[in-house]
Structure 1
Amino acid sequence: MAAAICELKWLKALLLSLGVAHALPMKLYCDTQTALHIAANPVFHERTKHIEIDYHFVRDEVMSGNITTQYVSSHTQLADIFTKFLGKKQFDYFLRKLGIHDLHAPT
């Protein structure tokens, strides 16, 4: 999540340098509910005492209002089409969600 936030901040700075202002918080989708809970919860628990510094960075960005996080189910995670082996049914579903059509398919 920390790497994704760094990329979002870079994209926001790039857009700002091009004259496109974006005042709304950027939305980060994640399929790990535990990571979302840690990022959104400002209370320091004993169980999160030895957590990596990345999560503290993510939590700071969420608490400052620069980033909002939202849960997305693993079954509807569009990035999976690029990173995981999928069955035909799920692969076709992701292709439709991305708007990709086979031009040579019979109609």
Structure 2
Amino acid sequence: MATQECLWLKRLIREMMSTLNHPIQIYCLSESAINIARNLVFHACTKHIETHYCFVQEKVLTHDIELLKIRTKKQVADIFTKALAKAKFESFCEVLGVINSKFPLRGSVKF
């Protein structure tokens, strides 16, 4: 799914700017998933993977995408899926550009 979304964005950017020739970088936690995508050789341990999942492999081979390993400590997507310590939560918010609003969340009337 991420691959399809990235390729759609790449086509959109290419239409607007006409120059986007480098592969899109997709970060992945799983070293095994990256290795499977880079290696088209059929293995007994991957025989359960259906052929329509080979889409990512095809896009890696055609250099449309590049799969990169990301360390667990740097995985910003964890902010959406895990309970995080305050410091890590705040640093991920900063990376995403989310700011702490100083305005009150509830309306009030002062006389």
Question: Normalising by the residue count of structure 1, what TM-score does the alignment of the two structures yield?
Answer: 0.81
Runs of 4+ in 1 over 6 A off after TM superposition: none
Q: Which runs of 5+ in 2 are unaligned?
A: 103-111
The residue that corresponds to 1:78 in the other structure is 76
The structure number with the bigger radius of gyration is: 2
Deviations 1:64-94 (A, max 9, x none): 1111110001221112123322111211221
1:1-107 equivalences under 5 Å are 3-102=1-100, 104=102
Structure 1 residues 16 and 99: CA distance shift in structure 2, 3 A: closer
- Displacement of 1:8 in angstroms is 0.7
Kindly state the Cα deviation for residue 20 of structure 1 after the two structures are TM-superposed: 3.6
Give the Cα separation in 2 of the matches to 1:6 and 1:103: 34
Matched with 2:108 is: none
